Structure 1
Amino acid sequence: MSLLALNAGMMSATSAVAGEKHAPVVAPIVQIASGSAMVVDLKSHEVIYSRNPDQVRPIASLTKLMTAMVTLDAKLPLDEVISVDIHNTKEMRGVFSRVKVNSEINRRQMIQLALMSSENRAAASLAAHYPGGYEAFIRAMNAKAKQLGMTHTRYVEPTGLSPLNVSTARDLTRLLLASQKYPLIGELSTTQEKTAVFSSPAYALPFRNTNHLIMNPSWSIQLT
């Protein structure tokens, strides 16, 4: 059995798709501290467990999954070098990042850093370089949510830093199921570690996946 497990907390959210050999992971989820959660069988879409699945909560960095999907929907060249541009994302003010503003890296790596390492400046930059600009990107995020039937979801920015980015466990399950149609998201989000090489100025930074289960060979994580 392949499972999709989602925990949605007030300040943070994590998600993972676990492989067949780990179906027994369902049992301890009943004792989770998270205020809302949902576990779904990926094949039948049967809801195996839920807790407050329709409670609207801030979704934090789960926002970046929609950011990646909207970017890929635009069919922009992934090898195009783009700058780190955060000036439209007011939530970034005062937020630390090792990534230098105005430095450059290609779009594929921006997506990768946003997904695997939850790099906020990467997510903000993807929105800044969207056709029509930042506001068009936010509109596209909400349009995508509506298309997927995420009726209790709202996005105001691309990083998840704003508590006004809200959703429910049920809506986020729809998003995670839809992400299966984007194999690149699974590939990039499950990268264990990466050294990103930037230009203008030239520098390199090591990144590690924020999901420590990725490092555990006994787990088969397909999305994080």
Structure 2
Amino acid sequence: MRAASVCFGAPFFTANSSVSILKLRHSILGLLLACSSVMSSPVSTAAAKAPAQQVLASGSALLVDLKTNEILYSSNPDVVVPIASVTKLMTAMVALDAKLPLDQRLSVTIRDAREMQGVYSRVRIGSEISRREMLLLTLMSSENRAAASLAHHYPGGYSAFIQAMNAKAKALGMTHTRYVEPTGLSEQNVSSANDLVKLLKASQAYPLIEQFSTTSEKTVAFHKPNYTLGFRNTNALVRKPDWSIQLTKTGFTNAAGHCLVMRTVMDKRPVAFVVLDAFGKYTHMADANRLKKWMETGKVTPVAPAALAYKQQKMAQRQLAGQPGDAATVIGTR
């Protein structure tokens, strides 16, 4: 009878068990190698997968894919702020909704617009141009006297025009929007980035607004007295070959900061773009370039410290006024 081999402090071995242990060793070795490979891979961490987020200088921003309604970029989209001359998009819509003769000559007047008192313009009071040209100057060069004149020559007059602006906003579901005059000079003309995306979507039904708002420059002949003036688009991006812009409107007052809305293309997607309350004369356009570059390449462009300081100051003021902001969020894929 053969005695069993026993070794205290060590496992018990047989011929079959030694084979099993060898297999187990090979399995463990393979598992360790696999884990090592996964841990060393750059795609194994969330940080490697997550794209860098672009910070903008503007206080509010929203970028929406017009085909899918996907939100591509969002920052404080529901904060209610003055919108300056972005107002004039609604002014043009209401004027066109009335279906009045576009070639009818209208006299330039600011009689009903108290916000216009003392505001400089090259356009002479009492001179005449067509309603079509009034619309062009309202949209392309943000001419305040043209916008006020469109409201004055509306059926029912100036007050009826303002009522129609607010009725249109309500019909479009722009629940945070209010208009008190047609130019945007009043800081009581307020909206949000979310509401303005709704307006941009509705603007797709207005080809004349698309045409006039993206016209680069135009010389207009006035009558009574006869004189001509040259005008340029307030959005310099319409003259840039790397931009395809279907519709645009800029705005600025001290209360509103610099504002820009567009229907354009980014990363081969048709998008609605809104930035509100930016610091600096060209910051709103710089934000558009930042977002376009980020969408198309994933590369982040820095923002000037002065612009960020202005943004933080305005956010603090809004919070004190009971309008808490939110951090920039990125949803969807580039």
Asked if 1:176 is matched to 2:204, the reply is no
- Identify unmatched segments of 5+ residues in structure 1: 1-26
Displacement of 1:29 in angstroms is 8.8
Cα distance per residue 1:10-55 (max 9 Å; x no partner): xxxxxxxxxxxxxxxxx99932111111000011111111111110
User: Which SS does the other structure have where 1:67 is aligned?
Assistant: helix
Residue 158 of structure 1 is matched in structure 2 by 182
State the distance in 2 between where 1:145 and 1:32 align.
Answer: 27
State the distance in 1 between where 2:128 and 2:170 align.
Answer: 33
Cα distance per residue 1:162-181 (max 9 Å; x no partner): 00000000001100110011
Q: Which amino acid aligns with 1:87?
A: R
Residue 186 of structure 1 is matched in structure 2 by 210
Identity of aligned residues (%): 68
Q: 1:47 aligns with which of 71, 74, 92?
A: 71
Asked if 1:212 is matched to 2:240, the reply is no
User: Which SS does the other structure have where 1:222 is aligned?
Assistant: strand
Asked if 1:89 is matched to 2:113, the reply is yes
User: Which SS does the other structure have where 2:73 is aligned?
Assistant: strand
User: Which SS does the other structure have where 2:247 is aligned?
Assistant: coil
Residue 32 of structure 2 is matched in structure 1 by none
Q: Which amino acid aligns with 1:65?
A: L
Asked if 1:137 is matched to 2:164, the reply is no
Cα distance per residue 1:67-103 (max 9 Å; x no partner): 0000000000100000001110100011110000010
**TM-score (ref. length: structure 2):** 0.58
Q: Which amino acid aligns with 1:103?
A: S
Q: Which amino acid aligns with 1:100?
A: R
Query: Structure 1 runs of 4+ off > 3 angstroms?
Result: 27-30
Bigger radius of gyration, 1 or 2? Answer: 2
Q: Which amino acid aligns with 2:184?
A: G
Residue 151 of structure 2 is matched in structure 1 by 127
User: Which is helix-richer, 1 or 2?
Assistant: 2
Q: Which amino acid aligns with 1:31?
A: V
Displacement of 1:187 in angstroms is 0.4
State the distance in 2 between where 1:118 and 1:77 align.
Answer: 21
Distance 1:140 1:220, change over 3 A: same
Residue 117 of structure 1 is matched in structure 2 by 141
Displacement of 1:216 in angstroms is 1.0
Q: 2:223 aligns with which of 199, 209, 213?
A: 199
State the distance in 2 between where 1:67 and 1:28 align.
Answer: 39
State the distance in 2 between where 1:102 and 1:131 align.
Answer: 19
Q: Which amino acid aligns with 1:185?
A: I
In the alignment of these two chains, the number of paired residues is 198
Q: Which amino acid aligns with 1:212?
A: A
State the distance in 2 between where 1:167 and 1:94 align.
Answer: 26
Distance 1:197 1:152, change over 3 A: same
Q: Which amino acid aligns with 2:116?
A: M
Asked if 1:37 is matched to 2:61, the reply is yes
State the distance in 1 between where 2:119 and 2:54 align.
Answer: 34
